[in-house]
Structure 1
Amino acid sequence: MNKRNIFIAGVVAVVLAVGGTFYYMHHMAQPLDEVAVTDSVEVDNIVRKYGIPVSLYDIKYGLVEPGQNLSIILRKHGLSVGEVHRLTKKAEGVFDVRKVKDGQAYAVFTTRDSIPQTVYFVYEESPKSYIVFDLKGDYGVKRGENPVTWERKTVGGRVKTSLWVAMQQCGTSPQLALDLSNIFGWSIDFFGLQKEDEFRVWYEQETVEGRELQNFRVLAASFSHEDSVYYAIPFVQDGEELYYNADGNSLEGEFLKAPLDYYRISSRFSNSRFHPVLRRYRAHHGVDYAAPKGTPVYAIGKGKVIAKAYQAGGAGNYLKIRHNSRYTTTYMHLSGFAKGIQVGSEVKQKEVIGYVGSTGLSTGPHLDFRVYDNGTPVNPLTIKSQPKKPVSEDNKEQFAVVRDSLLQILDGIKVH
């Protein structure tokens, strides 16, 4: 049973016992020598940092500057070329020293002798992990993991201009908007949200020593859009966790609502649109999504690539995918194709197939996305998608317990 299954099982058991009070486990990665990593200003209040007893050493903190590599930094702190080479060999199989990146933090531990010696160098690979280079004796290199916790939060708000802005106005990371667009992406057009659409979300956010990371788990959500309320209730069935609506139907469908994450529509499906390059009116049987160059483009459903080509005076780099006997989709003006994508490739739903660009007849980076129903172009924003398997009869009672408890929590979230 995976961690999310444990969460769902816990919801059911504890809700029945204590009426909606939930228990959850902190997901902790084991740090090097069981050490919690904190900011440098807190060093005096702890005994160890990165698994190193800080009271024995002086510590200097820095950031990797543009053009610097491990050798430059270590030689700056007294190591010879030979010593750096020996340490690099020790790192093989633990950390590729060529992957030291600009802007990442590091710490240098030196002795408090009359002639200080560098004894530890620590490179912060990410907010979650770090690499300790032990410069004593025969040298050693170890990877450490910072303790991670998940904090539960709620947010409720109204859309004024966009969901992204609404999240910011509610004091919540706008990255959560991407998670919602992925969850509701089969049933709500997030490129066509309306003013006063409402959302309520109960979620967990990953943190490291109080620092919030941009990783979320949506525990329950509701979205009011076009006179309807859409719910997202996580539930495990047949070993797979999906989000379901209040009736127990899966939110995931055969097709995504959009082939990329949450950017604006710059041109809609039309039989007579003024072309910005050709300077005349003609049919535009697709939807243009304005997005930065390099933005990943997804297949909206599983299928087979039936065309991969370049058209200088039109589509630029484009792909065409056949999804079934009825529907095909086309993705145009790509800056490039995903690795391994060829004619005949089988692709999965939401697999990256290419990247937004401005190739062919285009005035700026965007994706021109088109859908064909038995060869006839149709508006991509109006196609219907069959949902995945609903909650089974055997699981409906258990689902109802989970649903009712989560809806109670959502109803208690204040909308700002």
Structure 2
Amino acid sequence: MKRFFNYKTIIIASTVLIGSLLFKKYKSDIPEEVKKESHQLIDSTEFAPVNLKYGFPIDDFEVEENKVKKNQSLSTILRQYNVSYAAIDKIAKKAKKVFNVRRIQSGREYSVLFSKDSLRAAEYFVYENTPVEYIVFDLRDTLHVYKGEKEIVYKRKQLKGTIESSLWNAMVEAKANPVLSIELSEIYAWTIDFFGIGKGDQFNIIYEEAFVDDEPIHEIKVLAANFIHHKSNNYAFAFKEDDKQGFFDEEGKSLQKAFLKAPLRYSRISSRFSNRRFHPVLKRYRAHHGVDYAAPTGTPVHTIGDGVIIKKGYQKNGGGRYLKIKHNSVYTTTYMHLSRFEKGMKSGVRVKQGQTIGYVGSTGLATGPHLDFRVHKNGSPINPLKIKSPPVAPVKKENRDQFEVLKNKLMHELHGLDLTPKALNPDSLYHAIDDQK
């Protein structure tokens, strides 16, 4: 028996060895191309693209898209899709911490996702709150509500043109987003009077425009620009320092100037910027687009920045004695309820930052001495306490090399598509760039 076992073992071992040698020979005879192809066989069904929308594989649902009609609410919309009143009430309560359903606005788009079966039950209601943000109402048993955001795609663009009538019209003619004209007016607010630009002025801009679902959402980031005004170059390069982004010229000097934090030394703010404030004299609610600084009569009031006085007057049933100052093509400030003006203050007079222009009083509709201070940006009132403060100093020494690399790259990019305007001296420009290398 023992001999038979040894004999059997030898036969099996020999068979395995011969089979192994034959397989190795067979494998070595397979062409390399076939071997390579055999390793690249992939089940394509595992990598089939999924069509996602609002985070859902949208092809798994029947989808109905629509817009909110006038006077429609969450309830009236969902009732169209056979969602019960009880379910609507529950989901409205669950939505409180996420979204106020009373703020559903007419004209906004929404989608209803139905199950693909004979019941065709509404499973999700998706309301587009903004071009980017959407609210998902899970109408299934979970009755869950949450926010989502669409993907924002930034497209880098370059635009150049010549002004024939106005910057706005030039943007329209170039089929560019006119929002660019507002961005430029803010970037160059302290260096160019955009009310004084004229025919023949030129612009060259590199910017990023935001898109959602291939539609622009009117969000633009200017990266670099050259505005040729009166045949002179005015460069602007976006650069971030200390978490604040500012614009600097080719020498690293800031294009912005700072406003003073307040137009007087004061003890307290007695009233803040509001769209609905109870007026202490009129005894009714109305907008108060300014900040009231309580201070004793006669306290000096000074301008928060350089500018020109464009209005001086008296409003008996309003701001009393007031001055209005234009600082640039973007900002104007107004100083109201003055007891008197400083000598020499009149329309057309130029004033310097910190210069005394008047004194606190209670003229007009006022219950006590205070300064009503107002700021307008591009003609619209803004909260004076929330004026953005970009860097106003030159690029710091420790960041200078980083700025130079970025500036030179953008300078090349600007003039790569440029037609070399008359104002530009290409020799001096590129010699300067070569010197930086």
- For the criterion TM > 0.5, the same-fold answer is yes
Please identify the structure whose Cα radius of gyration is greater. 2
Q: Contact between 1:234 and 1:244, CA under 8 Å: does it hold in 2?
A: yes
| Amino acid of the structure 2 residue aligned with 1:227 | K
In the alignment, the residues of structure 2 paired with residue 337 and residue 306 of structure 1 have an alpha-carbon distance, to the nearest angstrom, of 21
Report the counterpart of residue 13 of structure 1 in structure 2: none
Tell whether the 8 Å contact from 2:303 to 2:351 is kept in structure 1 after alignment. Answer: no
> What is the SS of the residue equivalent to 1:406?
helix
Cα RMSD for the two superposed structures: 3.6
The 1:223/1:392 distance shift into structure 2, 3 A limit, reads same
Native 8 Å contact 1:60 1:108 kept in 2: yes
**2:293 partner SS:** coil
The 2-side partners of 1:381 and 1:199 are apart by 31
Structure 2 residue matching 1:177: 3-state secondary structure: helix
Question: How far apart in 2 are the matches of 1:360 and 1:58?
Answer: 63
Counterpart in the other structure of 1:401: 405
Report what 1:99 is aligned to.
103
Deviation (angstroms), 1:348:
12
Note if 1:370 corresponds to 2:325.
yes
User: Are 2:263 and 2:304, in contact at CA under 8 Å, matched by a contact in 1?
Assistant: no
Please point out which of 161, 166, 170 is paired with 1:166: 170
Are 1:131 and 2:135 matched, yes or no? Answer: yes
The answer for the alignment partner of 1:116 in structure 2 is 120
Residue 50 of structure 1: how far off its partner (Å) = 1.7
1:232 maps to: 236
Tell me which residue corresponds to 1:321. Answer: none
| Counterpart-to-counterpart distance in 2, 1:194 and 1:383 | 26
The separation in 2 between residues aligned to 1:383 and 1:404, in whole angstroms, is: 37
Which residue of structure 2 lines up, in the alignment, with residue 78 of structure 1? 82
| 1:53 CA displacement | 3.3
Q: Name the counterpart of 1:343.
A: 293
Q: How does 1:274-293 map to 2 (within 5 A)?
A: none
2: distance between equivalents of 1:375 and 1:218? Answer: 43
Partners of 2:121 and 2:402 lie apart in 1 by 63
Alignment-derived partner of residue 66 in structure 1: 70
CA gap of 1:81–1:392, structure 2 versus 1, over 3 A, is: closer
Q: Which amino acid aligns with 2:325?
A: R
Aligned letter for 1:152?
R
Q: Does 1:50 align with 2:61?
A: no
Partner of 2:263: 304
- Percent of aligned pairs with the same residue? 32
1:175-190 map, 5 Å:
175-190=179-194
**Cα distance in 2 between the residues matched to 1:389 and 1:173:** 31
Q: Determine the C-alpha separation between the residues in 1 that align with 2:395 and 2:51.
A: 52
Alpha-carbon distance, 1:360 to partner:
6.4
C-alpha deviation, 1:391, in angstroms: 2.5
Runs ≥4 in structure 1, deviation > 4 angstroms?
A: 305-308, 344-350, 371-375, 378-387
Superposed, 1:309-328 pairs within 5 Å as none
Deviations 1:40-60 (A, max 9, x none): xxxxx9533223333343211
Gaps of 5+ in 2: 1-48, 270-285, 296-300, 306-313, 317-322, 327-334, 336-340, 355-390, 422-437
| Aligned mates of 1:382, 1:74 — CA distance in 2 | 61
TM-score when normalising by structure 1:
0.61
Aligned with 2:153 (options 149, 152, 160): 149
1:80-139 alpha-carbon deviations (Å, 9 max, x no partner) = 222210111121211111111111000112234444321111111112121111111131
**Whole-Å separation in 2 of the counterparts to 1:380 and 1:388:** 27
What displacement does 1:305 show? 6.7
Residue aligning to 2:250:
246
- Equivalent position amino acid for 2:166 in 1: S
Q: Deviations over 1:356-381 (max 9, x none)?
A: xxx969xxxxxx94369965347779
1:219 to 223, 226, 231: 223
CA contact (8 A) 2:303 2:352 kept: no
Higher relative contact order at CA 8 Å, sep ≥6: structure 1 or structure 2? 1
Query: Structure 2 vs 1, CA of residues 252 and 344 (structure 1 numbering), >3 Å: closer, same or farther?
Result: farther
Decide which moves more: 147-156 or 232-241.
232-241
Q: 1:385 to 1:210 in 2, by over 3 A?
A: farther
Unaligned stretches of 5+ in structure 1?
Answer: 1-44, 256-300, 309-334, 351-358, 362-367
Which has the larger displacement, 397-406 or 202-211? 397-406
Work out whether residues 107 and 121 of structure 1, in 8 Å CA contact, stay in contact via their aligned partners in 2. Answer: yes
After TM superposition, give the deviation of residue 209 of structure 1 in Å.
2.9
Amino acid at match of 1:184: Y
Query: Does 2:192 correspond to 1:205?
Result: no
CA contact (8 A) 1:302 1:347 kept: no
C-alpha contact (below 8 Å) 2:162/2:202 kept by paired residues: yes
Q: Hey, what's the Cα distance between the residues in 2 that align with 1:140 and 1:376? A: 66
| Greater share of residues in helix | 2
Residue by residue over 1:7-58, the C-alpha shift from the partner in whole angstroms, topping out at 9 and shown as x without a partner, is xxxxxxxxxxxxxxxxxxxxxxxxxxxxxxxxxxxxxx95332233333432
1:158-217 Cα offsets, whole Å, 9 max, x none, are 111111111111111000111111111111111111111111100111112322221111
- Asked if the contact 1:189–1:381 (Cα under 8 Å) also holds between the matched residues in 2, the reply is no
Q: Distance in 1 between matches of 2:121 and 2:303?
A: 55
Where 1:303 maps in the other structure, the secondary structure is: coil
SS of 2:130's partner is coil
- Structure 2 distance, partners of 1:349, 1:148, is 38
